[in-house]
Structure 1
Amino acid sequence: MFKKTLLIFFVMTAQAFAQTATTPAAKPTTTDSRGSDKLDIKKLENKYWAAKDEDFGVVQNRRYVKAERFYLTGKAGIPFNDAYSTGTIMGLDLGYFLNERWGFELSYDSADMKNNDAVDQFISTYGAIPDHNVIQSSYFVSAIWVPFYAKMSALDKAIIYFDMGVSVGLGNVNYKIAKQEGDESKSAFGYKLGIFQQIFFSEHFALRADLINTWSNQEQSKYYYNYGGNAITGRDLGSKMVNDTSLMIGITYWH
């Protein structure tokens, strides 16, 4: 309310000044000509309090731009929804942005996995290994959309520039089926949905964090082919849609 009152005050003052600033020698003007010089307060108010001006961008000045630039990201992370395995994941992303909103990316991840504590406890208690698959690697081609860009103050000492985006991709997931006679390597078509955020340190470097979900339809099999001296029949357990989720942290170089 104070802003609106102050605006009206300045407008009325300017209008009064304009009406009294004429010289004595000036020719009198008609009502119609003076009317053309008057400010339309209502129109100015409507524009000032408008919800959105189509010619105005929320963040007009981007210090670090992505448009028409390549980038390379080296990253590392962990899976955190695997019921049987634990370990680390290393990866590389190579991408290009067409503009500030849209880009595409090629990604490759390699996993180094081992039995987690739950599997070790199962083996210790029952003397048997549960049926399970182990992720090995994956590669995807993804489309990227970045709807959020912002500037943030850090302790009133510096401005941090960051954005947040979504990646949707198609690719391939390589895995192995744990088997008594030796693990069997397989691959399956996969889908990817990721959410990422990056914080820019300079024109060429940024810190990036990814939360990545992949889905693939993987074959399943019983671990044992011979248990207690008896051959096991019907080892094939069909196929199952498997979701793998990982958190990755990396450094991005922008060219």
Structure 2
Amino acid sequence: MNVLVVGAGSMGQWFARTVRDHAEVSVAFADTDAEAATAAAEAVGGRAVSTATEERFDAVCVAVPMPVAEAAIESYADRATALLDVTGVMTEPLAAMREHAPDSQRASLHPLFAPDNAPGNVAVVTDADGQVVETLLGALAAAGNRTFETTAQEHDAAMETVQAAAHAAVLAYGLAAADVSERFHTPVSGALADLVEQVRGGDARVYADIQATFDGADRVADAAARIADADRAEFTDLYDSL
């Protein structure tokens, strides 16, 4: 099976390496940064192709930033039997797949972890099933990932909590916290400080895309304001409502 990964970043490399290692798959990379595509191909064991390639593949996996996912899907929709994405949002990419690849196998996948933390949970919406999609999902499962079926609406609603709100809460603590000696940290503050460092180790552009795509941060801000303004009785009510 020949698979083209559009996007040579860490998630595209994770997908390519995983399916190559657990199925009979050869991989190619296309990226607007040709050097990045070449580097990814060398790192994973594959080849780089031009973004303008007319070659057909068994599968195309779109692994680009969320703001350009729909454009990438439109560009590569006619290049494969199966079209997938690992962009992290599902509603709009799946709609683009249905519009531009109505006769293809289609699936949206969201690995709920950074590649360095693989394997883990992978949310899946199989929009149009077939052998290619089943083989690729099987390869992910064979690597130890726990794939589970959901809907685009359920997934995107969940991301408001587990990504947009969670990241906002951690970043807000990091911005609000004073620089104190580690000797003073409690189990709660120490855990939060560790989460701040985990978020800081990522890519600001990815976190910005998440905040731009999903609601959730506003609810964190509202909750923090309610806590800050609460008297003792109101605070107790808020605490007890958890």
TM score, norm. by length of structure 2: 0.20
TM score, norm. by length of structure 1: 0.19
Higher strand residue share: 1
Higher helix residue share: 2
